[in-house]
Chains A and B, each alone.
Chain A
Amino acid sequence: MAMVIDILSWILLTAGGVFVFIGGLGALRMPNLYTRMHAASLTDTMAAVLIIGGIMLQAGLSLATIKLAAILLFLLLTSPTASNALASAAILSGLQPKEGKVEPREQQE
């Protein structure tokens, strides 16, 4: 059983590492801000879930797992928010995506 959990956790960790790598590659190679953000958000969400999941399996049932779950929860709340704020700021400063026009929404109630 311990063996299975260990293997599972390493699969998760490796997959997370692969997603971080792809995200980094995309952030370097994509042509403009919006596509780069799309690539980088892979690191924020998918990779974070996989890596923290892997570490949680390593930690077993302990206080550390609860802390990791809290970290994951806050990460899943804050990273998309940061991406949203970044994209809003880019639109507000007048950066247009390659296709389709976006009007800055100043009064977004």
Chain B
Amino acid sequence: MIILFSVFLLALLVITALAIVRSESLFTAVILSGIFSLLMAANFFLLDAADVALTEAAIGAGISTVLFLGALALTGEQERSGSTSRLLALGVVTVTTLIVIYATFDKPRLGDPDAPVHQHVGPWYLEKTPELIDIPNAVTAVLASFRGYDTLGEVFVVFTAGIGVLFLLSAGIARRPEDVPPADKPGQGLRHYLVPRVVGRMLIPFIFLFGLYVQFHGDYGPGGGFQAGAIVAAAVILYALLEGEGEALRALPMHVLKWLVAGGALLYGAVGVAGMLLGSNFLDYSVLASDPIAGQHIGIILIELGVGITVTGVLLCVFHAFAARGKV
């Protein structure tokens, strides 16, 4: 039955991808790529990867669609007729596809217990998580504690990406609420549309609440800083869409956002250094409390918080940087 669902979803993925390539209107392509991400999230969920599915749904289908639309507002809605050779592109894609298909011949069957990925460190993590870290969600244990270095690297990738976008669209850096045109003009927010505004206002607190739940429930179920950061950023972007960008900047000014971007990454690093100062290795949380397992819990909560803060800050900075640009 699962196989049937998977084939159905994968077929839909291929159809969506073809539709994205075929569509001339960039607006349609953006919406279709949101659908693509949502289908991908469903696929991940079928493969029991609930954490990844949540990330894909929040970031792929949610935030990146909004950012793409922000970019579209700066450019045109129609694709320019291609000047590059289509035959060359077709050749490259065909060769790559053949290589990938050839590579799948060596791939173990889906769910095969003898597959290399289930023979390497995976079993050790699953076996030691209850003993060393004692949280129900092994994904969070691996992500935040066993492989804390990797996640630190990811946070710095997000951090660097945010800085890069701010440099490229540098108009956003000096963005103050006064720079935004006044909100009583049409086109600024949805102030004049009663229904979206009332419902949106009603939903924003619940979106924040859900963001906090995902943030702090990551030890027990799917979730964590990356997903929570995207959800919180989505709530603020919704506020900006409803009330105008100026109001959102008044609530969370750009200098606060920049502190969030740096602060989250710094918090993560500081937890690592605290471990060193207490006489253990970088990012070893066991020494943060007298009981090693309690120390692990504290460390995981803190670094997840750092991840969430940085992701929220970066996404909102990028959103404001896009919104700050006039039409090119």
Interface residues of chain A, those whose CB is within 8 Å of chain B, are 74, 77-78, 80-81, 84-85, 88, 105-109
Contacts and interface: CB of A to CB of B under 8 A. Distances in A.
Contacts of A109: 192, 194
B195 A84 contact: yes
B199 A88 contact: no
Interface of B: 186, 190, 192-196, 199-200, 202-203, 206
Contacts of A105: 192
B196 A85 contact: yes
A88 B197 CA distance: 13
B196 A108 contact: no
A42 B199 CA distance: 20
7 contacts: A74-B203, A74-B206, A77-B202, A78-B199, A85-B193, A85-B195, A106-B186
B192 A107 contact: yes
B199 A81 contact: yes
A77 B199 contact: yes
A106 B192 CA distance: 7
A80 B195 CA distance: 9
Contacts of B190: 85
A108 B193 contact: yes
Contacts of B193: 85, 88, 108
Given A80-B195, A81-B200, A106-B192, 4 more contacts: A81-B196, A85-B195, A108-B193, A108-B194
Contacts of B203: 74, 77-78
Pairs A-B, 8 closest by C-beta atoms = A81-B199, A84-B195, A85-B196, A108-B192, A106-B186, A81-B196, A77-B199, A107-B192
A105 to B, nearest CB: 8
A109 B192 CA distance: 6
B contact face: mostly helix, strand, loop, or mixed: helix
Contacts of B196: 81, 84-85
A contact face: mostly helix, strand, loop, or mixed: helix
Contacts of A88: 193
Nearest to B196: A85
A80 B186 CA distance: 23
Contacts of A78: 199, 203
Contacts of B195: 80-81, 84-85
A6 to B, nearest CB: 17
Nearest to A108: B192
Nearest to A85: B196
A95 B64 CA distance: 28
Nearest to A77: B199
Contacts of A84: 195-196
A106 B196 CA distance: 14
B212 to A, nearest CB: 15
Contacts of A80: 195
A85 B198 CA distance: 12
A84 B194 CA distance: 10
Nearest to B186: A106
A108 B199 CA distance: 15
A1 to B, nearest CB: 26
A92 to B, nearest CB: 9
A85 B238 CA distance: 14
B25 to A, nearest CB: 14
Contacts of A81: 195-196, 199-200
Most A C-beta atoms less than 10 A away, residue of B190, B199, B202? B199
A108 B206 CA distance: 26
B190 to A, nearest CB: 8
B298 to A, nearest CB: 27
Contacts of A107: 186, 192
A87 to B, nearest CB: 10
Contacts of B186: 106-107
B293 to A, nearest CB: 26
